[in-house]
Amino acid sequence: MKVYLFLDFDGTLTPIVSTPQKAILSAKAKNVLRRLAKHRAFKVSIISGRAIKDLRKKIGIKNIVYAGNHGMEIKGPGISYKAVIKRGVASAMKRCNDLLNNRLHSIPGIKVENKGMTVSVHFRNVAKSMVPLISKTVRTVARENAKNGLIRIDTGKKVLELKPNIAWDKGKAAQLILSRYKKSEGTVAVVPVFIGDDSTDEDAFKAFRNNGITVLVGKPRNTFAKYRLRNPGEVIKFLESIMETE
């Protein structure tokens, strides 16, 4: 039997910090991931809202699968995938990014991040009183510049994310990665384990609720996850412990 670990990055392997750029994978966490990547009983995939280029730069470990932009772009051993998006989405996303930067730049603490296939508006460092204005502006810009439902808006931890309006999420991405791996392994039993902290991880918790192990990181909430770890520190301890018991 083998274990396929699907791990979110921000809030799961690293603590949530004030801006995405400041998130750093600790030496201990990196060492654990490197050991897992070399271990015969485990496979590892990192699934994040970050762009895949950023994700690979932050982690820098070979022999694991990287899934960026909530699984819309995937690269790693045995898999290369990029979601098919409708014509006009890329240009609409760029217009939205430019307009949001222009209309929101005066709000202290705001961060508009262009991740190519998606655009994220981070308001972790913004005064609470400004959040309704930010939300209204994001929805207005998306509605006016992405006709015919080309773009949808999802909500995460202190972030609004503009995404291509396609039937794709972290759950479907994890299932695709797992199916490719199972095909390559033949009859070997594989148990999926998904660990994440954000609302965007709920799709994966739901996807694996009957055939895998799902773990929420953070405070208790309504979730499809079966288990919970309190923080990234506990995640790293858990990953160490499963290697010791193998």
The segments of the chain whose pLDDT lies below 50 read none
pLDDT tens for each residue of 215-234? 999 999 999 999 999 999 99
3-state secondary structure of 232: helix
Q: Report the residue count for the chain.
A: 246
Q: What is the pLDDT of residue 129?
A: 97
Q: Check residue 98 and give its pLDDT.
A: 96
Q: Given the DSSP bridges, would you call strands 2-7 and 159-164 parallel, antiparallel or unpaired?
A: unpaired
Residues 56, 185: Cα–Cα separation, whole Å: 25
Measured CA to CA, the distance from residue 216 to residue 120 in angstroms comes to: 22
Plot region of 159 (φ>0 → left; ψ -120 to 50 → alpha; else → beta):
beta
Give the span between the Cα atoms of 132 and 140, in whole angstroms.
Answer: 12
Q: Which two tokens stand for residue 96?
A: 């939205």
* pTM of the full structure: 0.92
Catalytic choice (8, 169, 197, 201): 8
Domains of the chain are 2-83+168-245 (3.40.50.1000), 89-164 (3.30.70.1020)
pLDDT at 21: 84
Confidence at residue 190, expressed as pLDDT on a 0 to 100 scale: 93
The answer to whether 203 is a known catalytic residue is no
Classified as helix, coil or strand, 127 is coil
